[in-house]
Structure 1
Amino acid sequence: MSDAELTVEVTGPVATVVISNPARRNAMTAAMWRQLPELLDRLEPDPDVRALVLTGAGDAFCAGADLGDLAELLDAGDASIAVTAEERLARFAKPTIAAIRGACVGGGAQLAVACDLRIAADDSRFGVPPARLGLVYPAPTTRRLARLVGPSAAKHLLFTAELIDAERALRIGLVDEVLPADRLAARVDELTATIAQRSPLSIAAAKEIIEERAEPARIAWWHRKVTTTGEAREGVAAIAERRQPRFAWRPPTDA
């Protein structure tokens, strides 16, 4: 039986998906790529889940795609199971945070970039290796990387296939925060606790608009929800009463 798997733990409002493949520094197998969208489909409609954390078991985030499955990924091109998993993660309706230690390379970087936020330990290393392997990086993945770090930094990562450290990743915008490894878990807990206290309506609307997935009619729908759900009234009342707001709105599963 393989030790390669994705596991899920839900603690309060936070679901944590753990990439585990200890023999290969948490490389993603074909089965794991297929499993990820299924897990996300299950977690997304759960009204108690307010944020999702993606991380790796032990001292690595994910060293990429398992090379034993490379032929299957290459044959499918942009329709590969890896791109399907990446796109599903990027479309997850609730905030997603990659908590990164150690290797975050290839398919690992692909998954991290598909998350909304990336918090990295100072021992993290990042790389995008297609040019070292003679591969063509998927177009959706390449464009997502370029939007995040800018064309020049994306070209440097793709042209050289070099590993960069966490501080450089922070400078180019590949990660949002870098901190000592022994503080990573506490910071992720703090960040997800803060997000869980905020308005799910505000967050869901912001995510769609930032990612340019909201047409004018959808944006107008979001503005109407501010009034009809009472979210804004609750937020203002909470400030006046000096208490935490109790935001009741949850994204509909067919939104």
Structure 2
Amino acid sequence: MADAELVVEVAGAVATVVIRNPGRRNAMTPAMWRQLPVLLDGLDADPAVRALVLTGADGTFCAGADLGDLDELLDAGDDSIAVAAEERLARFAKPTVAAVRGACVGGGCQLAVACDLRIAADDARFGVPPARLGLVYPAPTTRRLARLVGPSAAKHLLFTSELIDAERALRIGLADEVLPGADLAARVDGLTGAIVARSQLSVAGAKEIIDGRADDDRVAWWHRQVRASGEAREGVAAYHERRAPRFGWTPPAGR
């Protein structure tokens, strides 16, 4: 499937990864699952990139895993390449936003849930179909979904395999915002523009703490970064002077 690929576009400080698989509603192939962590490693290491958008080509987010290659995904269980890609996306150090149009099903929903935020067009449809296929959803994926939407909503999605519309996804916390499709790109641009303009020290520290990846020593390290960097002094000065802050913190090597 030569046309199945992940395409990276960078505009300013925002990188966009586009899921593209024409004819299969952007289903993820094994090659694409393997490609995603490699792309994320490069974008994470690029200091010019401050936020990541994940989206699908041609009005569809992602219809799941390409079931023509099912055996390769099944044999590994929770050690599958799909789970490895999901986990790498969840560990991405910078803010991640899923921009969702159309189908966001199975592996597509798996990737969207691994992002920090999900902004959906009103035509988006979400679903988790393992019960329809006789599969057991991977444990890390199941737990991440339950943490996001709560146990009851996760059980409904997993037990029924029903597709839910964008408004219901918003009510259960699967989507953070829903808006007309014509407005989606502008809203994602505005959201990521706001994120990259903020103190990257504040953003990175908040993400790590919220995601449960910072123990007490690491939290103390973040507070030392605040004092040493001068970010807070700059932010307060900019507030009093009614100007845009000039934040300059960048992650130290090997942080």
Question: Is the pair's TM-score, using the shorter chain for normalization, greater than 0.5?
Answer: yes
CA contact (8 A) 1:60 1:104 kept: yes
The answer as to 2:133 corresponding to 1:133 is yes
Alignment of 1:77-156 (within 5 A): 77-156=77-156
More off after superposition, 243-252 vs 147-156: 243-252
Cα distance in 2 between the residues matched to 1:151 and 1:254: 36
CA contact (8 A) 1:45 1:253 kept: no
Question: How big is each residue's C-alpha offset from its partner over 1:116-148, in whole Å with a ceiling of 9 and x where there is no partner?
Answer: 000000000000000000001000000000000
Compute the displacement of 1:211 (Å). Answer: 1.0
Q: Normalised by the size of structure 2, how large is the TM-score? A: 0.99
The answer as to 2:51 corresponding to 1:55 is no
Structure 2, unaligned stretches of length 5 or more? none
Cα distance in 2 between the residues matched to 1:131 and 1:253: 44
**1:254 — aligned with what?**
254
Identity percentage of aligned residues? 79
Question: How big is each residue's C-alpha offset from its partner over 1:43-86, in whole Å with a ceiling of 9 and x where there is no partner?
Answer: 01111111000000011000000001111010000000000000
**1:167 — aligned with what?**
167
SS at match of 1:118: strand
Cα distance in 2 between the residues matched to 1:183 and 1:190: 11
**1:9 — aligned with what?**
9
Alignment of 1:186-205 (within 5 A): 186-205=186-205
Cα distance in 2 between the residues matched to 1:254 and 1:64: 34
CA contact (8 A) 1:100 1:124 kept: yes
Query: What is the aligned length?
Result: 255
Structure 1, unaligned stretches of length 5 or more? none
**1:234 — aligned with what?**
234
Backbone CA RMSD of aligned residues? 0.7
Question: How big is each residue's C-alpha offset from its partner over 1:219-243, in whole Å with a ceiling of 9 and x where there is no partner?
Answer: 0000011000111011111111211
**1:30 — aligned with what?**
30
Residues 253 and 81 of structure 1, relative CA distance in 2, 3 Å threshold: farther
Cα distance in 1 between the residues matched to 2:140 and 2:38: 20
Q: Normalised by the size of structure 1, how large is the TM-score? A: 0.99
More off after superposition, 237-246 vs 50-59: 237-246
**1:67 — aligned with what?**
67
Residues 244 and 149 of structure 1, relative CA distance in 2, 3 Å threshold: same
CA contact (8 A) 1:130 1:136 kept: yes
